[in-house]
A = this chain, B = another copy of it.
Amino acid sequence: MDLDSTFNFKKSNIGRLIVKCSDKPGIVAAISHFLHQKNANIIESSQYSSDPEGGTFFIRIEFHLKDLNSKRQEIETSFRPLAEEFGMEHYFSYGDQIKRSAIFVSKETHCLLELLWEWQSGDLETEIALVISNHEDARSTVESLGIPFYYIPANKNIREEVEAKQIKLMNEYNIDLLILARYMQILTPNFVSHFPNKIINIHHSFLPAFIGAKPYERAFERGVKLIGATSHYVTNDLDEGPIIEQDIERVDHRDSVPDLKKTGQQVERRVLAKAVKWHLQDRIIVKNNTTIVFQ
């Protein structure tokens, strides 16, 4: 559901509050009382508790408030005592604060094209600030949309200097989210540490099946009847980061490895686009090595 489009609120009057804390009675009462006092109207609210007795509580609230723009600082400041009382990790975000994305891509452009399509049709609320690739294949498509394209050849021998260039660009462009749209290079722990829970990858299998390289070849040999894809946040453990979304398509004995790849591409682009969309709307909270997704 996209409440903004549904109710035609001004984006600048939409706020989001995301909270994580130890569960105990009274949290919802305290937060909703706070927002009510500020005259904010809750338009969407999702919560989850890992265990109402001694577990962790998570809530995402979307609220509407006239002239929110001028009231943000006051709201954030006056929420702090409450946050401290309950020991909350929390943040506010606002409907007009569009996140800035970078996309890394290699030769295969199906995921990139899907993201560009969704972005053009207004379904991805982000500014695609730049695209970086170790191949030139995507340049004309990207540049024709007015998006800067950087060609940075990469291989494992020059990984450090490549990543230094990438990090420099990420900082220059002030990037909030990095999308690995089938970028076939491994990222070092140093790189990953710069963007915690801010790098989304698409893996071409139903993780944890076929972790690592050549998943379609191995799926073919194993004779699976479904081909999957997994989008996840990138951590230092390759293919082991928190899963955001997964999906599958049916295949059968007639499908060759290239057939599996083509089928897989359809799943990959769908699954990646969903994960990115949810991230942009602050719908994902990481909990240990899993995600809570408030759809």
Q: Determine if A223 and B290 form an interchain contact, defined as CB atoms under 8 angstroms apart.
A: yes
A interface, CB within 8 angstroms of B: 1-2, 5-7, 9, 23-26, 28-29, 32-33, 35-36, 39-45, 47-49, 51-53, 64, 110, 113, 117, 121, 123, 144, 206-210, 221-226, 228, 242-248, 252-256, 258-259, 262, 265-266, 270, 287, 289-293, 295
- A44–B245 alpha-carbon span in the complex (Å): 23
Q: Determine if B123 and A262 form an interchain contact, defined as CB atoms under 8 angstroms apart.
A: yes
Q: A110-B117, A253-B48 are in contact. Are A25 and B7 (CB under 8 A)?
A: no
Q: Looking across the interface, which residue of chain B has its beta carbon closest to that of A39?
A: B25
Q: Determine if B28 and A32 form an interchain contact, defined as CB atoms under 8 angstroms apart.
A: yes
**Nearest CB of chain B from residue A144's CB, rounded to whole Å:** 6
Partner of A253, one of B209, B289, B292: B292
Partner of A223, one of B221, B265, B291: B291
Residues on B with beta carbons closer than 8 Å to the beta carbon of A210: 208
- A45–B60 alpha-carbon span in the complex (Å): 12
Q: Looking across the interface, which residue of chain B has its beta carbon closest to that of A35?
A: B29
Residues on B with beta carbons closer than 8 Å to the beta carbon of A1: 254-256, 259
Q: A222-B208, A226-B248 are in contact. Are A51 and B293 (CB under 8 A)?
A: no
Residues on B with beta carbons closer than 8 Å to the beta carbon of A222: 207-208, 243, 289-290
- A253–B270 alpha-carbon span in the complex (Å): 20
> 23 A-B pairs, CB-CB below 8 angstroms?
A1-B254, A5-B256, A6-B259, A7-B53, A9-B52, A29-B33, A48-B254, A110-B117, A113-B117, A117-B117, A121-B265, A206-B226, A207-B224, A208-B209, A208-B224, A209-B209, A221-B290, A223-B243, A223-B289, A225-B243, A226-B228, A253-B287, A253-B291
